[in-house]
Amino acid sequence: MARGPALWLGALLLASLGGSSAPASLLRRLGEHIRRFQESSVLGLSLGPGVAARPREGWLEQPLDPFNASDRRSFLQRYWISDQHWASRDGPVFLHLGGEGSLGPGSVMRGHPAALAPALGALVIGLEHRFYGLSIPAGGLNTTQLRFLSSRHALADVVSARLELSRLLNVSSSSRWVCFGGSYAGSLAAWARLKFPHLLFAAVASSAPVRAVLDFSAYNEVVTHSLGQRCLSFSRAETLAQLRVTEPPVSGVGDRQWLYQTCTEFGFYVTCEDPTCPFSKLPALPSQLELCEQVFGLSTWSTVQAVAQTNSYYGGQTPVGTQVLFVNGDMDPWHVLSVTQDLGPSVSALLIPNASHCLDMAPERSSDTPSLRLGRQSILQQLQTWLQLAQKSLVRVGV
Ligand SMILES: *[C@@H]1O[C@H](CO)[C@@H](O)[C@H](O)[C@H]1NC(C)=O
Ligand SMILES: *[C@@H]1O[C@H](CO)[C@@H](O)[C@H](O)[C@H]1NC(C)=O
Ligand SMILES: *[C@@H]1O[C@H](CO)[C@@H](O)[C@H](O)[C@H]1NC(C)=O
Ligand SMILES: *[C@@H]1O[C@H](CO)[C@@H](O)[C@H](O)[C@H]1NC(C)=O
């Protein structure tokens, strides 16, 4: 039963997104319907410990422009919930943030944070990133719409999701919310804690490239084997044609959206202009920047500015905050843009030997190396320590 309505609603949502002519009122009505459905199904949530429950899919109505209260347009953001290990409404909440792709039920079932949930009695929620997967506003991916896509918009969504879901799920006001994420979403997890420490208790940021950089040639110095790297091996014309498609992809990585974010926030162009570089077919930096111009009409100058602004806004590799754990693998080329050394008593860094991109987040396997097992153990211990300290200080002030 849990899957039927969700699938049906998903299909309806797709139908409404497919035609960009779908009237906004239809979407709003649909949003209302989904929300009512969700609220009624939430009331049936079993809160008891140890009760097996399948993850549920839900939708939140979020403002398209959270920074302009006069703009009443909204979109539906998808989330997943697993309350299988949620021990009590005072228990911690693990908020697994989606990044540049769709987010499925696995986000709350497999790998960490799901694997850490039983030990801490946590509720696990997965939140899909706006403009990816099924969380795409009506109007799709046209360039006018994409100005509502940025990490700052995504963080505003995290804040409103955290407040709205607390209410919907009757989470205790003393519950600790911990953000998790891998890769770009790892950066979001860290930034969510840094910017909103009163709402988000801690963050575990896996393989998080927190420093934006235009020319990421350092990538090739670390590369030992191929990863989830963006592949531009098609002909230029084919690539351009694909990136100009404004029909939203409903699963997998959103290439057009992510290109937009690289042009307007992060850069991260993997180049290979040094003669010793093993990947001679990679496009040169000017050619990568031309994509921003050709696909979105964005100048190179604006991208250069955007990268600098991102670093001044978030603090690059020396963010100032507390209770953020950065986890990296030393075989992952992205670790050079992350935090790999402790930045004080409560911004800690864990560099796992021989581990690749986001490996700590993957489900446990019998072939896992001892260093990976140890790394995962340290993540759990760090969270336990922070949660226990917070509990003690609560007791001290007599709450
Ligand atoms: C805010 O939204 C209103 C209503 O849509 C619009 O008229 C106005 O131009 C927007 N302001 C900005 C700064 O985008
Ligand atoms: C893009 O989408 C917005 C919002 O639906 C719409 O107002 C605008 O006309 C669209 N622009 C193009 C070029 O299709
Ligand atoms: C929320 O939880 C509290 C404490 O258990 C309970 O008193 C209250 O009735 C709950 N509210 C809802 C709407 O379930
Ligand atoms: C890392 O991998 C190398 C080569 O496979 C191996 O010799 C070494 O023992 C590994 N180190 C750790 C800490 O697992």
How many helices and strands in the chain, by DSSP H and E?
13, 10
Q: Which residue, by CA, sits nearest to atom 14 of ligand 1?
A: 68
Four-residue CA torsion sign, 175, 176, 177, 181? negative
* Beta carbon of 144 within 6 Å of any ligand 2 atom: yes
The SS3 call for residue 151 is: helix
Q: Which of 20, 27, 131, 149 to mutate to test the pocket of ligand 2 (most atoms within 8 A of CB)?
A: 20
Assign residue 274 a region: left if phi > 0, alpha if psi is -120 to 50, beta otherwise? beta
Contact 90, 172 (CB under 8 A): yes
* Beta carbon of 139 within 6 Å of any ligand 2 atom: yes
Query: In the CATH hierarchy, which fold is given to the domain comprising 3-40+54-396?
Result: Rossmann fold (3.40.50)
Kindly list the catalytic residues.
Answer: 183, 332, 357
CA of 164 to the centre of ligand 3 (A): 15
Residue 44's pLDDT is 36
CA of 189 to the centre of ligand 4 (A): 30
Tens digit of each residue's pLDDT (9 = 90 or more) over 204-228:
999 999 999 888 877 766 653 433 7
Backbone angles phi, psi at 173, to 5 degrees: -70, -15
Ligand at shortest distance from the CA of 22: 2
- Listed by start position, the domains of the chain span 3-40+54-396
Residue 7's pLDDT is 28
Q: With a cut of 50, list the residues of the chain below it in pLDDT.
A: 1-51, 224-227, 229-234
Contact 120, 384 (CB under 8 A): yes
Q: Which of 74, 144, 147, 246 to mutate to test the pocket of ligand 2 (most atoms within 8 A of CB)?
A: 144
Contact 193, 203 (CB under 8 A): yes
Ligand at shortest distance from the CA of 45: 3
Q: Which residue, by CA, sits nearest to atom 5 of ligand 2?
A: 139
The SS3 call for residue 76 is: strand
Structure tokens at 20: 């960009």
Residue 398's pLDDT is 59
Ligand at shortest distance from the CA of 70: 1
Beta-strand runs (E) in 243-358: 267-269, 324-329, 347-352
Ligand at shortest distance from the CA of 72: 1
CA of 69 to the centre of ligand 1 (A): 8
Q: Which of 65, 68, 73, 148 to mutate to test the pocket of ligand 1 (most atoms within 8 A of CB)?
A: 68
Residue 2's pLDDT is 30
* Beta carbon of 71 within 6 Å of any ligand 1 atom: yes
Q: Rounded to two decimals, what is the model's pTM?
A: 0.82
Residue 43's pLDDT is 33
The greatest distance separating any two alpha carbons of the chain, rounded to the nearest whole angstrom, comes to 66
Tens digit of each residue's pLDDT (9 = 90 or more) over 239-285:
777 788 887 777 778 889 999 999 999 998 877 666 666 555 566 77
Which amino acid is residue 398, in one-letter code?
G
CA of 349 to the centre of ligand 1 (A): 42
Q: What are the pocket residues of ligand 4 if the criterion is a CB atom closer than 6 Å to any ligand atom? A: 353-354, 369, 371
CA of 144 to the centre of ligand 1 (A): 13
Q: Which residue, by CA, sits nearest to atom 4 of ligand 4?
A: 354
Q: What angle do CA 200, 202, 203 make, to 5 degrees?
A: 105
Residue 217's pLDDT is 74
